[in-house]
Amino acid sequence: MKTRTLFLISAFLVLASLLLSSCASGAASASSASGFPHVTVNNGTAYLSNGQFVRAYNTENGTQLWSYPDKGDPKKEFFGAPVLTDDGQIIVGAYDNRLYSLDASGKEKWFFQGSGRFIAAPVIINKVIYAPNADGKLYAIDSTGKELWSFTAQGALWSAPVADQKQTTLYQTSMDHNIYAIDLGNKRLSWKKDLGAAITASPAVITDTVFVGTFGSEIAALSADKGEIRWRNTVQGWVWASPVFDKGRLYVSDLVNDLNSNSSSTFYAYDAKTGGVIWKKAINGGIVAPPLVTDKAIYIGYDDGPGSTTSTVYAIDNNGTQIWKSSESIKGKIHSPFVATGNLLLVPISTGDDVLWALNIGSGAKVWTAK
């Protein structure tokens, strides 16, 4: 009986361990964090950071050219968009707290060690790499991986910084509720503004105005030189996607979820000067990716409604009228920015079998997909 009792108890404990492990893996685990894939295009090659790999694809047909690293590591995940330097390096940040430099064939050249995750893409200005980190620092690094200086914010940096047209000031949003304006000349803070809620998206920057969306369900326009509020609008849900400025208008979306994981959004077109709503469109799906605005259309993508595991890409005109929608439903979620290259629209996909879709930018027809 003693043996039987011990066996039953042991079996129970093993089962409990398995149950806890499986339920734990079902929840997002902090030790292997997850993010949204991002793509960059240069000279006919698309560079996709997605999970444990950075991969290069031929944009003509989606053929994979190379993959880095050779073997995946759950602690080393890549989600920030790869960025290319003038001398052909591919700079990409990882969740193992390192910023990597790869050559054109995907071989590692150097890495820079930070204290936290590199979640967002860096930006390169005058051969200096400005890399935001979850440790709250914006690192300025040279092309060999050496730290030149850094700026420290009060909280994690999850968004890519954006420079003004003259590339003298860098605007960095932060999870600490602030937007920072950093003078690249004297390497000091010009101004900062507390907007009352976490900001996970990059700002939109034009000559004299900076536009920011926050988790406080707000869109704000600030003066670029002093950070003074020009206008401030309330929306319904959290603003995940970066606003986009085009021809006097600001395009932005919010996201509302119910407790059954069903998402809905509103897509807004604002007068950038006054903040007045020109039009808005209710969307029966969740918009997380920023729109891509070209001369021909505005491209947005979102899931296909409550309980859906597929998504669709839409092209709309600047009055919100649909021009086309993607010819097939895309298996997976659209959480990341699109990239236009030639006659293609590249769409990175989260949680799908195919991680990158190429659509005809004029019709929405599927051209190729890549795994």
Partner 1 sequence: MDVIWNFLITNPMVNLLLFIYSIVHNFGLAIIVFTILIRLITHPLTVSQLKGTQALTDLQKSSKWQDIQKKYKDDKEKLQQEQMKMYQEAGVNPAASCLPTLIQFPIMIGLYQAIIRSLAVAPAQLFDLQLHVYPFFRGVVSGFIPLDNRFLWMDLAQPDYVNVFGIGIPVMAILVVVTTYMQSKMMTPPSSGPNDQSAQMAQSMNLMMPLMMGYFALTFSSGLALYFLVGNIFAVFQYAALGRLNWRNLLPAALLPGKKDALPGKKEISQNKKDSTTSKKEALPGNKEALPGNKEALPKKKASKD
Task: Report in angstroms how near the CB of residue 128 gets to partner 1 at its nearest.
Answer: 25
Residues in the chain: 371
Query: Which CB sits closer to partner 1, 113 or 168?
Result: 113
Query: Which CB sits closer to partner 1, 36 or 268?
Result: 36
Buried b (16+ CB within 10 A) or exposed e, 268-295: bbbebeebeebebbebebbbbbbbbbee
Cα 216 to its chain centre, rounded Å, is 19
Query: Which CB sits closer to partner 1, 175 or 313?
Result: 175
Helix H or strand E encompassing 59: none
List interacting residues with partner 1 (CB under 8 A). Answer: 1-2, 5-6, 9-10, 13, 16-17, 19-20, 23-24, 26-31, 33-36, 79, 95, 117, 119, 134, 155-156, 158, 175, 196-198, 200, 214-217, 238, 240, 255, 257-261, 288, 335, 350
**Of 184, 159, 156, which Cα lies nearest the Cα of 170?**
184
Query: Which CB sits closer to partner 1, 22 or 321?
Result: 22
The C-alpha R_g of the chain, in whole angstroms, comes to 22
Task: Report in angstroms how near the CB of residue 263 gets to partner 1 at its nearest.
Answer: 9
Task: Report in angstroms how near the CB of residue 36 gets to partner 1 at its nearest.
Answer: 6
CA pair distance 120, 142, nearest whole angstrom: 18
Task: Report in angstroms how near the CB of residue 19 gets to partner 1 at its nearest.
Answer: 7
Query: How far, CA to CA in Å, does 12 sit from each of 15, 18, 22, 26, 115?
Result: 5, 10, 15, 21, 41
CB 168 within 8 A of CB 186: no
Query: How far, CA to CA in Å, does 318 sit from each of 12, 179, 255?
Result: 61, 29, 21
Query: Which CB sits closer to partner 1, 63 or 261?
Result: 261
Task: Report in angstroms how near the CB of residue 271 gets to partner 1 at its nearest.
Answer: 26
Query: Which CB sits closer to partner 1, 255 or 349?
Result: 255
Query: Which CB sits closer to partner 1, 40 or 264?
Result: 264
CA pair distance 49, 118, nearest whole angstrom: 12
Task: Report in angstroms how near the CB of residue 307 gets to partner 1 at its nearest.
Answer: 10
